[in-house]
Structure 1
Amino acid sequence: MNTIIAFIFMFGLLVFVHEFGHLILAKRTGMLAREFAIGFGPKIFSFTKNETLYTIRLLPLGGYVRVAGEDPEIIELKPGHHVGLEFDENGKVAKIIVNNKSKHPNARIIEIEKVDLNHELMIEGYEIDEPSELLRFEVKRDAFFVMDETETQIAPYDRQFASKSVGQRAAQLFAGPFMNFLLAIVIFIILGVAYGVPSEQAIIGEVVDDSPAAEAGFQSGDKVIQIDDQAITTWEEFTTIVRESPEEELQMTVERDGQQENLLVIPQAETAENITFGQVGVQLAFEKSLWKSLTNGVSQTYETTKLILTNLFMLVTGQLSIEMLSGPVGIYDVTDQVVQTGLHNFLMWTAMLSINLGIINLIPLPALDGGRLLFIGIEAVRGKPIDPQKEGMVHFFGFALLMLLMIIVTWNDIQRLFL
């Protein structure tokens, strides 16, 4: 149960933060954000606030922000359609009743002759009871379609995604991945404040009982300043020499309470993935500092990003197999293992997944934010947008391929778990 709760919390947080970035930039640039959704499929919970419908949906497979103009409008009025019109106190159309007009006795029933809800915001037509006179009605900018008794706000062209500048559209798409990187930075900062940040020097934090270091006389707080004839200034230098010296005698000089002590230690040989390395049984000390927590949050995010990009490059070049990828099943399995090791590691895992989500979404593949950013970049270079229908087809096939990849990855996860 703890794993299920942790997984739902982690998944919900990553998706919420990502989509919140898209939502905020959409609203800041004047786009009409119709829906902010966590999950896909049937709605389990929803409410409307400030033009946007907020929903939680049944299938926890991601989320989305539906911005006017990104997809074809659900309702399209054409000449010959019969609609009911309801008006505000200024005589402008406030509601356009598409069907079930009998449920709206106060609506004026009009046969449409001409309609423009993008630029002119008007409807021309003949009243059914008096068809001899052509009438023209002004439509409010925030008028609603009413279909099956569900209201959907209209979107004048200046509220649509396509009406915004290249920079504004690119910023709205980039905001989602950016928020994932920002979330990782915040989590690393919180961990630094709560648990401390790794010392920049080779200072011993904890000595494992019955380890080579314990037998050699190492104590918590010892600062390693020299190994044999080599001066040591960083933890990386210390661990590199230890790992490269299994079962070899090392003379170490440590600074303890202002005094220098000489300790003789023999790293124990360990083997993993057919590689033998030395280990003495010590952990790096952590120190609490607000400033170092802030800088560590940025540096940890940067280093994790580099590591993920390196692995991604190896995957693309064939140095890593697709079997190394994990989908929701694999992530759940790892989350189960991480949760059992404590809150610190769970938050570290959440930060790493947030960075991973940000990077994956920036890959220039169709249907992902990176793919859409690529099309906007092409538009900026050629000076005009690509045909929306052609772009839509590319994203459709790209989405289909991503779903196929997800199925393959999920099947691999299941095989690793049960076969």
Structure 2
Amino acid sequence: MSNVQIGIQIILMFFLLVTLHEWGHFYFAKRAGILVREFAIGFGPKLFSYKKGETTYTLRLLPIGGYVRMAGEDPEIVQVSAGQTIGIRLKNDRITHLYLDQLDQRSQSIQGEVEAIDLERELFVRMIVDGESVRFPVEPHAYMVARGKETQIAPWDRQFGSKTVAQRAMSIAAGPVMNFLLAFLLFLIVMVMNGMPTNVKLGKVEADSPAYTAGLKEGDIVLEVNHTAIGSDSGKLSELIQASKDQPMMWIIERNKEQMQKTLTPKQMEDKVRVGITLTYDKRSVAVGEAISGAWDQMVFVTQNILVGFKQLLFGQFKMDDLGGPVRIVEVSGQFASAGLAPMISWSALLSLYLGIFNLLPFPALDGSRLVFLAVEAVRGRPIDPNRESIVHFIGFAMLMLLMIAVTYNDILRLIQG
């Protein structure tokens, strides 16, 4: 497979994982009636954007994640205060645009000094026009225009903070949930592609190895070893080999539908006891129930291993080389892409599951932390001060970026040093 094909697969994989995660946030936010200002893939400078409806869809330079920007979470609206001169545009006697600068170029607008303004609840502007105080109603979808940029106002009922705890929690949790669903679907696809193992079969047999000397050949099916049925359990076969160093083993194999008995003696080869074979499987197609059960079992197994990794990270049972950033992920993804479609899909499933679990950790700036704040709000009956919560998330985000820089530097250093 060419490097171009591998690169395309990796890009598509990251795009799928991040886009589906953010789509979960986006979809349930829209269902709750929240104004979603931006759906972004990546961070940093904007490479491409287009607007559809109320939302701007952007692709940004740094492919290390994405975000959904909801009204009420960012100070995107420029504040207008009493005494400020502004211009307004009307349609059917209601304000559709509020102009905050370059008023000399707004010849078609009504201009005046603001006396009072409420763009969240009552939706009105009272201003002095030609010496007279006039009150104008504001359209819920009106725009504020400043520095050449139009920003849709967000009435209180369109803001994130106005929704129930359950609606906000669903909007946040939906991102990781989408990753879990994607992981299950990908594991299911791999189960269907690979089939169900029926018997352990020999792959490559190394020259001059105990297996070669005993007459084993590639394609032989292993039925029994030391009177123990093997079936599809390659782990059991490996255990028997490891426990039989320098001891003769009796193997019953099947070759061309004929059973044969072979005797071989495992030897210490490099770092472990070996007989000089690689293992593969005889397979059959899977039934629907088997595929679903197998995909679920694989999800549980991978989840357990991911949680063990997080536990080691939490208690300091790791080395810096055990951590990997974007560079290492791309490197490993390239190896899986080179191995074939099924390994790449399986790796994508693992990353999707990892992304979902990681985002549910109760660390500031992650979805899990935001869910913790909502749980506290549900218990105490009132929200935590938004400014304090924002500070916590900002600190957490800064810490994550520092960790990302550190592991990326380590990855690059490791590549340079070979």
TM over 0.5: yes
Matching residue of 2:189: 190
The whole-number CA distance in structure 2 between the counterparts of 1:261 and 1:144 is 82
Residue pairs, 1:81-92, within 5 angstroms:
81-88=84-91, 90-92=92-94
Q: 1:417 to 1:381 in 2, by over 3 A?
A: same
Q: Does 1:240 align with 2:231?
A: no
Within 2, Cα distance between the matches of 1:168 and 1:244? 57
The corresponding residue for 2:351 is 353
CA offset at residue 267 of structure 1? 4.1
SS in structure 1 at match of 2:67: strand
Structure 1 residues 268 and 197 mapped into 2: Cα distance closer, same or farther (>3 Å)?
farther
CA distance in 2, matches of 1:137, 1:255: 88
Query: What does 1:18-417 correspond to in 2, within 5 Å?
Result: 18-88=21-91, 90-127=92-129, 130-132=130-132, 134-193=133-192, 195-199=193-197, 201=198, 203-210=199-206, 215-217=214-216, 220=219, 222=221, 224=223, 226-232=224-230, 234-235=232-233, 236-254=235-253, 261-267=260-266, 269-272=268-271, 276=273, 280-291=277-288, 292-417=290-415
Q: Which amino acid aligns with 1:285?
A: D
Is the contact made by 1:95 and 1:143 (CA closer than 8 Å) also made in structure 2? Answer: yes
Say whether the 8 Å CA contact 2:87–2:98 is kept in structure 1: yes
What is the CA-CA distance between 1:416 and the residue it aligns to? 1.2
Letter in 1 for 2:105: K
CA distance in 1, matches of 2:248, 2:381: 68
Asked whether the 8 Å contact 1:379–1:386 carries over to 2, the reply is yes
Cα distance change on mapping 1:278 and 1:254 into 2, 3 Å: closer
**2:222/2:251 contact within 8 Å kept:** no
Per-residue deviation, residues 326-383 of structure 1 (Å, max 9, x unmatched): 0112212222333332333222222222222112111111111111111112212222
Q: Which moved more, 1:67-76 or 1:367-376?
A: 67-76
Following TM superposition, by how much is the alpha carbon of 1:54 offset from its aligned partner in structure 2, in angstroms? 0.3
Cα distance per residue 1:38-81 (max 9 Å; x no partner): 11222221111131100111222221100111122332222122
Structure 1 residue 207 displacement after superposition: 2.7
Q: 1:216·1:265 contact (CA, 8 Å) conserved in 2?
A: no
Q: Which moved more, 1:154-163 or 1:283-292?
A: 283-292
**Whole-Å separation in 2 of the counterparts to 1:142 and 1:330:** 45
Deviation at 1:227, TM superposition (A): 2.7
CA distance in 2, matches of 1:280, 1:249: 16
1:199-227 superposed Cα distances (whole Å, 9 cap, x missing partner): 2x5x0345324465565446748362x43
- Identify unmatched segments of 5+ residues in structure 2: none
After superposition, the CA RMSD in angstroms is 2.5
Kindly provide the CA deviation profile for residues 210-269 of structure 1, in whole angstroms up to 9, marking residues without a partner as x. 465565446748362x43243445513333323443443222345778876544344454
Distance in 2 (CA, whole Å) between partners of 1:233 and 1:338 is: 28
1:148-168: CA deviations, max 9, x gaps?
332221111111111111111
- 1:9 Cα offset (Å): 2.3
Give the secondary-structure state (helix, strand or coil) at the position aligned to 2:339: coil
Aligned residues: 409
User: 2:87 corresponds to which letter in structure 1?
Assistant: G
In structure 2, what residue type is equivalent to 1:156? P
Question: CA separation in 2, counterparts of 1:41 and 1:61?
Answer: 10
Q: Which amino acid aligns with 1:362?
A: L
With over 3 angstroms needed to count, the CA separation of the structure-2 counterparts of 1:247 and 1:208, relative to structure 1, is farther
- Mapped partners of 2:149, 2:84: distance in 1: 19
Q: TM-score, normalised by structure 2?
A: 0.89
**Residues 101 and 248 of structure 1: CA distance in aligned 2, closer, same or farther (over 3 Å):** farther
Letter in 2 for 1:22: H
Q: TM-score, normalised by structure 1?
A: 0.89
Distance 1:19 1:204, change over 3 A: same
User: Where does structure 1 lack aligned partners over 5 or more consecutive residues?
Assistant: none
1:7-39, Cα deviation, whole Å (9 max, x unpaired): 322222221111111111111111111000111
Q: CA deviation at 1:270?
A: 4.3
Q: Give 1:309 deviation, angstroms.
A: 0.8
